[in-house]
Amino acid sequence: MVGKDNLTNEVGTGPGYEAIIIGAGVCGIYLAYRLQQMGLRFTVLERGEDVGGTWYWNRYPGCRFDSESETYGYSFSKELLAEWDWSERFAPREETERYLNHVVAKFDLRQHMRFGATVVSARWDEPGCRWHIKLEDGSELTTRYLLTAVGLLSAPTPPRYAGLETFKGQSFHTYYYPREGVDYSGKRVAVIGTGATGVQLISAIADKVASLTVFQRRPNWCAPLGNGPIEPSEMAAIKERYDEIFARCRATPSGFVHEADPRKMFEVPEEEREAFWNELYNGSGFGIWLGNYKDVLVDEAANAEFSKFVERKIRDRVKDPAIADKLVPKDHGFGTRRVPMETGYYEVYNQDNVRLVDISETPIETITATGIRTVAEDFSFDIIIYATGFDAVTGAFERIEFVGADGLTLKEKWRHGPVAAFGLAVAGFPNMLTVAGPLSGSVATNFPRGIEEAVDWCANFIQHVRSRGHERFEVEQECETAWGEHVQEMARKILFAQQQSWFTGYNSNVDREYEPKAIVYAGGAQRYRKAIGEQAEQGYPDFAFN
């Protein structure tokens, strides 16, 4: 669909846009709302055929929030909050997609959006003081400001096994799950990957397939989601409490309702500790991760103790001790990588039709025409599903060729790891804001809570620039460097910094020219809010304006 604005703004045929937003997911939608309110001439370019980003693409069974539903909606409109009912504590994908469509319709944002619009390059034109944008379909647009809302987990990475193209059955990455659905009845299905996605998918399809073979390289620490319906009376009560709920989210480092227990684990008697942990395990959401004793994610001894507790749970739930043993992570402690939340995941391995193949012991050699060959065995499948993750945070940027003021590409600039002041602005890339980009405080949080603040900051910033008649802004190099150091310093304080996970830029299917290091801000939402808030209050001292 082509929005009405777009027809007059091809290069040479109109004045160009004041702003272009790339992406119509959770972040791009709210950005569009803010720019529309400010009266900018703008468009949103979206690769998908409709709105939703993550919630548009990931159509695999079991895909749902790990955020409490009532904390995931936008908070900017009381009317919107009052009219939307969530049906489950952790809403399924379909419901979130409906919600985002509702928001777009309610605020009449679709008129600004262009779908099936894949940006291939964005080149800064210094004399013209604007960005030149090229789309895959050959069209070219210009804009004064470029705002990226490209998503953190939107560049999927299939594995690099030989023979991938030779498989004669059906195969796909979870991100590109077939829109028409998949018929699993009577099918022999393989799933490769056991991150948050694989865990959701495996649990959802295990009883629908003839056989399921899970190829696991490294197990993750998973914990029960505790999902359930939200009854109408409960939803009504939630609506009464929205101010309180959002205030609570603002008061926690992660933007979730969960806040760490102020006590250190070893200060608490063992019996009491065990009771608390059982409560967390039988509770819901990320409470077990973010609402644990305050030292569990920072102190190795405390972390090891809690990991032992979760290990016992896994061993209790999986009947075969040898399989249970394979499901227990040995190379990292609980919560030092992203915790997949599950519903009946471990019990799946008690089913006769499910088999776990440990590919750290027997690696995959090749994908064949009929299935998968490991060093030990030839497997035949009808369907192979790759739940192999994403080129997280930077991947979506790198598939667009951004060329900055001095001719350097963003990819080249980020070769040794991404840099961006406050995760929002990159030196050498004027008039561009990387909303929810690498090193920003919006990434490792309850996403809508994080992006609402970042979007508000960006919108106010653009307002500042326009109202003073500036044509160009660029962040100072010193600020970018200092922010990069601060990000790493914060990350060193918690245990995830050295782990191989998407928080640290690790993905075995992508070549990196840097060792794992934080690519998201781990200093907490309050610290981040303070840093960007001070910039705004002081008139953006770390930016140059012309």
For residue 270, how many other CB atoms are within 10 A of its CB?
10
Q: How far apart are CA 461 and CA 100, in angstroms?
A: 25
Comparison of 115 and 215: residue with beta carbon closer to ligand NA7: 215
Q: Tokens at residue 387, please?
A: 């739940």
Q: How far apart are CA 91 and CA 111, in angstroms?
A: 27
Query: Can you give 212-242 as a three-state secondary structure string?
Result: EEEEECCCCCCEECCCCECCHHHHHHHHHCH
Comparison of 390 and 473: residue with beta carbon closer to ligand NA7: 390
User: Per-residue x/- mask for ligand NA7, residues 326 to 345, rule CB under 6 A?
Assistant: ------------x-------
Comparison of 293 and 502: residue with beta carbon closer to ligand NA7: 502
Q: Which of 41, 106, 123, 218 binds ligand NA7 (CB under 6 A)?
A: 218
Residue from 64, 85, 90 nearest 285 by CA = 90
Q: Tokens at residue 460, please?
A: 């106010």
Query: Which region among 89-97, 304-312, 384-392, 526-534 touches ligand NA7 (by CB under 6 A)?
Result: 384-392
Q: Which of 193, 224, 441, 516 binds ligand NA7 (CB under 6 A)?
A: 193
Query: Which region among 120-128, 132-140, 279-287, 502-510 touches ligand NA7 (by CB under 6 A)?
Result: 502-510
Q: Would you count residue 384 as binding ligand NA7 (CB under 6 A)?
A: no
* E strand or H helix at 17: strand 17-22
Q: Would you count residue 447 as binding ligand NA7 (CB under 6 A)?
A: no
Q: Is 151:26 a contact under the CB 8 Å cutoff?
A: no
Q: Interface residues for ligand NA7 in 64-93 (CB under 6 A)?
A: none
Q: Residue with structure tokens 């326009």?
A: 466
Q: Would you count residue 249 as binding ligand NA7 (CB under 6 A)?
A: no
Q: Would you count residue 516 as binding ligand NA7 (CB under 6 A)?
A: no
Comparison of 63 and 426: residue with beta carbon closer to ligand NA7: 63
Comparison of 196 and 497: residue with beta carbon closer to ligand NA7: 196
Minimum distance, C-beta of residue 15 to ligand NA7, in the bound complex (Å): 40
Give CA 401 to chain center in angstroms: 22
Minimum distance, C-beta of residue 153 to ligand NA7, in the bound complex (Å): 5
Q: Would you count residue 292 as binding ligand NA7 (CB under 6 A)?
A: no
* E strand or H helix at 304: helix 300-317
Q: Which of 141, 153, 396, 519 binds ligand NA7 (CB under 6 A)?
A: 153
DSSP structure string for 332-356: S-TTSS---EESSHHHHTTSTTEEE
DSSP character at residue 502: G
Comparison of 175 and 246: residue with beta carbon closer to ligand NA7: 175
Q: Would you count residue 502 as binding ligand NA7 (CB under 6 A)?
A: yes
Length of the chain: 546
Q: Which residue has the closest beta carbon to ligand NA7?
A: 195
Angle between the N-to-C axes of helices 447-467 and 26-38, in degrees from 0 to 180, rounded to the nearest 10: 30
Instruction: For residue 41, give the amino acid letter.
Output: R
Q: Would you count residue 169 as binding ligand NA7 (CB under 6 A)?
A: no
Query: Which region among 289-297, 382-390, 486-494, 518-526 touches ligand NA7 (by CB under 6 A)?
Result: 382-390
What's the Rg (C-alpha) of the chain?
A: 23
The CA distances from residue 73 to 150, 269, 487, in Å, are 19, 39, 28
Q: Is 313:254 a contact under the CB 8 Å cutoff?
A: no
Q: Which of 19, 205, 249, 387 binds ligand NA7 (CB under 6 A)?
A: 387
Minimum distance, C-beta of residue 258 to ligand NA7, in the bound complex (Å): 16
Q: Which of 139, 350, 463, 509 binds ligand NA7 (CB under 6 A)?
A: 509
Q: How far apart are CA 229 and CA 232, in angstroms?
A: 9
Q: Would you count residue 222 as binding ligand NA7 (CB under 6 A)?
A: no
Comparison of 16 and 437: residue with beta carbon closer to ligand NA7: 437
Angle between the N-to-C axes of helices 242-251 and 447-467, in degrees from 0 to 180, rounded to the nearest 10: 80
Phi/psi at 346 (5° precision): -65, -35
Comparison of 483 and 506: residue with beta carbon closer to ligand NA7: 506
Q: Which of 190, 192, 324, 396 binds ligand NA7 (CB under 6 A)?
A: 192
**Strand locations in 118-221, DSSP E?**
119-125, 130-135, 140-148, 170-173, 188-192, 211-216
DSSP character at residue 438: T
Minimum distance, C-beta of residue 254 to ligand NA7, in the bound complex (Å): 13
The count of chain residues that interact with ligand NA7, using the rule CB under 6 A, is 20
Q: Would you count residue 190 as binding ligand NA7 (CB under 6 A)?
A: no
Minimum distance, C-beta of residue 197 to ligand NA7, in the bound complex (Å): 3
Q: How far apart are CA 392 and CA 105, in angstroms?
A: 30
User: Per-residue x/- mask for ligand NA7, residues 18 to 57, rule CB under 6 A?
Assistant: ----------------------------------------
Interaction site with ligand NA7 (CB under 6 A): 153, 159, 192-198, 217-218, 338, 359, 387-390, 502, 508-509
